[in-house]
Chains A and B, each alone.
Chain A
Amino acid sequence: MSPEIAGPSPGGAGVRPPGGVGGDDRLLSGWGRTSPTRATVRWPLTDDDVAHCLAEPPQRGVVARGLGRSYGDAAQNAGGTVLEMTSRRGVLAADLEAGWVRVAAGTSLDELMRWLLPRGWFVPVTPGTRMVTIGGAIAADIHGKNHHRDGSFGDHVRALRLRTGGGEELTCSPGTHPEVFWATVGGMGLTGVILDATVALLPVETAWMLVDAERAADLDDLMCRMESRDHEYRYSVAWVDCLARGGSLGRGVLTRGDHAPLAALDRPRRERPRHFDPRPVVTTPQVVPPGLVNRLSVRAFNELWFRKAPRRRVGHLESISYFFHPLDGVVGWNRLYGPRGFVQYQFVVPFGAEDALRGAIELMSRSGAPSFLAVLKRFGRANPGPLSFPAPGWTLALDLPAGSVELAGLLDLMDEIVLAAGGRVYLAKDARVRADHLGGMYPRLAEWSDVRAKLDPAGTVTSDLARRLGL
């Protein structure tokens, strides 16, 4: 099958031959818009373009970038080169009997879903936004609401083609070069540039979800509901009000669901059961004053969100985009945090460390730091990726405005709680963890570093995150 999604190459020419000038100097940041740095951006159009960029790297190296949806500094490379992989998009091959596609690494999950759903298939894992690329999904080993059942994105990658920092092209899979494969899954782009990947799919009858929602009065109630019945659903996630105090500490709304079978649709929907064409609803203004997101506005929002949630509602029909990607309806919502941006703090602590989770939520609540929509979820088993984030346990994600002096100390305290509990923070979200905590959080870091050193002895592939954390 020929590339069917391929769109125009965004903004500018591809890479000129080695020795040529080419490229465009741009200020890049992650989704949190903190620590922007300048790099030369290039748009490789072919495998050879990628090879050339890695063969003649600038002094400060090269890194791949997808849609820049990681929150921190993973997809930027100050003073060096950044390869915008969205220049290479499309379905390269597919077997819709067996249920897999081979896609160019710059293809977004949005594009892929629009292609797959009418054909009766869905991506195996989707994050809270469709606007991520296949390359970014593998490099961060992203997880979705189905982790407790299906694992993370890397668990569904059958094979990938990688151009290593050392310049070699490798096809790897869990069976061939497994150490390279698993160092790349969750490896934050540091093993090389992913060119394309073969991904296993999930068959679906419709583009609709059957959703149960319920309110939980406090953290114990919420965790108890999750533990007892998560296994009955493919998808499960809870929203926690981190500003609620005392008896309501950790109150939240739990939503769980499954893909709706054809039989669950009413007549009008059954006519186009797999129609999928979500559109943005609103766009955030380009310039938003600082301080819009503060303790008062977040407290009011959280209160409203909690009250509007049904005490209990069963079998509600929701579209895929509403269920998985509500924020995609608001273009550029990250600008709401103003010029200083925000950080997302996401950690996981093992089952059995519920006290650490409670301690972290108490700390947040006491500090009064305004966190919108903290998201709580139970992870299932981990995969063999040494830097893969998900591990069996509880994961909590918090969005917090940057630009306050107190936040650094608060998050350092959170790190201590997480470390002591044997947990870790998610590198795709991180923008501030201490480098010397990384080994404690990822005990197999040294193993990963060895693989990477072999693939890229000169350290050609590097990023701001790599420099910040000494990777």
Chain B
Amino acid sequence: MQDALGAPQSVLLLGGTSEIGLATLRRVLRTGRTRRVLLAGRDQAALEVAAKDLGGGPEVRTLRFDAADDPADHEAFVTEATRDGDLDVVLLAFGLLGDQERSEEDPAAARRVIDVNFTGAVAVLVPLLRALRAQGHGTVVVFSSVAAERPRRANFTYGAAKAGLDAWCQGMADRLVGTGVRLMVVRPGFVHTKMTAGMRPAPFATHPDAVAEATWRGLVRGAQTVWAPPALRWVMAGLRHLPRPLWRRLPG
């Protein structure tokens, strides 16, 4: 169960090696009430390292998960993930930025970005939310992106996929009212992680710990959407209405 101030007893991190995901997990663990952690991802060895880095305290289990798998695999994954009891908080933090130019040339590359970020995310959320509804409680945090707000030349295939996921999550969050299950969308801007390594930082660039703190505050406050850093909410509210010729010329 989550307590009145948001602290969960169990957490599942989808994208168990994601830097933003792990930072958020560490923030949640500071509440001192979490006893069970599940790290799900593709790279078993990397997951083990991440588990070790979490230190003592909660019992950590690693699970194989690939977003690009078939629906039947996602179903089996959820059965496995719920084996030991309730999932109080689920962090969906996997994502694939991909190479924008390649995705414009190579249909397989384009499809891969959409499969991981959108199709795979929705396909695993469906059985997960079914399980959470059956347990009558739970919170899901989905990492979307500012890129979902308005497509940019630098990453619009990724942006389109995130926009699809973001829209689906907004609809789902409304569907979940009254079920005891909550879904919160987080839209980070440029974050210094391995996903953006070597890229030129965009304005308002931030760090995983700052995203984690904003996410945790949003959870405790009962927010539906969190921007990280929070100022991006207002920046994007303005930029959304920028005329296309100007928007096109923005750097990055």
Q: Which of B3, B32, B178 contacts A27 (CB 8 A)?
A: B178
Q: Does A445 contact B (CB under 8 A)?
A: no
Contact indicator B220/A339 (Cβ below 8 Å): no
- How many A residues face the partner with a CB closer than 8 A? 34
Interface contact A434-B222, CB-CB below 8 Å: no
Q: Are A408 and B5 in contact (CB under 8 A)?
A: yes
Are the C-beta atoms of A27 and B220 separated by less than 8 Å?
Answer: no
**Contact across chains for B220 and A78 when beta carbons are under 8 A apart:** no
Question: A38 to B136, Cβ gap below 8 A?
Answer: yes
For the complex, is B111 an interface residue (Cβ under 8 Å from A)?
no
Neighbouring B residues of A36 by C-beta, 8 Å: 180
> Which of the listed residues A37, A80, A431 has the most CB atoms from chain B within 10 Å of its own CB?
A37
B9 to chain A, nearest CB (A): 7
Chain B interface: which size bin? 20 to 34
Whether the pair B179, A38 counts as a contact (CB closer than 8 A) is: yes
* Chain B residues with CB below 8 A from A37, complex form: 1, 136-137, 180
Q: Is A404 an interface residue (CB 8 A)?
A: yes
Cβ 8 A contact of B137, one of A78, A340, A343: A78
Other-chain residue from B1, B6, B180 in contact with A467 (beta carbon distance below 8 A): B1
What string of 1s and 0s marks CB contacts (under 8 Å) between A28-51 and chain B? 000010111111000000000000
A221 neighbours in B (Cβ, 8 Å): none
A72 to B107, CA, bound (A): 53
Within 8 A of A (CB), among B1-41: 1-7, 9, 31-33
If A339-B222, A340-B222 touch, whether A73 touches B134 (CB-CB below 8 Å) is no
Residues 212-239 of chain B: 1 if any A CB is under 8 Å from the residue's CB, otherwise 0? 0000110011100000000000000000
In the assembled complex, the Cα of A464 lies from the Cα of B137 at a distance in Å of 10
Residues of the B chain whose Cβ atoms lie less than 8 Å from the Cβ of A60: 135-136
Q: With A79-B137, A431-B4 known to touch, is A340 a contact of B33 (CB < 8 Å)?
A: no
How many Å lie between the Cα of A38 and that of B176 in the bound state? Answer: 11
Contact assessment for A78 and B7 in the assembled complex, using a CB-CB cutoff below 8 Å: no
What are the residues of chain A within 8 A of B2 when measuring CB–CB? 35
Inter-chain contact B4/A402, CB cutoff 8 Å: yes
Shortest distance between the CB of B134 and any CB in chain A (Å): 6
Knowing A35-B1, A60-B135, A403-B221, say if A467 contacts B178 (CB, 8 Å). Answer: no
Are the C-beta atoms of B216 and A78 separated by less than 8 Å? Answer: no
Q: Does the CB pair A72–B4 fall under 8 Å?
A: yes
Answer whether residue B115 sits at the interface, using C-beta atoms and an 8 A cutoff: no
Q: How near does chain A come to B78, taking the closest CB pair, in angstroms? A: 16
Contact assessment for B5 and A402 in the assembled complex, using a CB-CB cutoff below 8 Å: yes
CB atoms of A79 and B134 under 8 A apart = yes
Q: Which residues of A (71-108) have their CB < 8 Å from a CB of B?
A: 72-73, 77-80
Q: Bound state CA distance, A402 and B4, in angstroms?
A: 7
Q: Does A136 contact B (CB under 8 A)?
A: no
Residues of A close to B66: CB separation below 8 A: none
Q: A235 to B137, alpha carbons, bound, how many Å?
A: 41
- Chain A residues with CB below 8 A from B7, complex form: 408, 432
Chain B residue with Cβ nearest A80: B136
**Residue of B6, B9, B136, B181 with most chain A CB atoms under a 10 A cut-off:** B136
Given contact pairs A79-B135, A403-B221, a sample of 9 additional A-B residue pairs in the complex whose CB atoms are under 8 Å apart: A38-B133, A73-B1, A78-B137, A78-B180, A339-B222, A340-B221, A340-B222, A432-B5, A468-B9
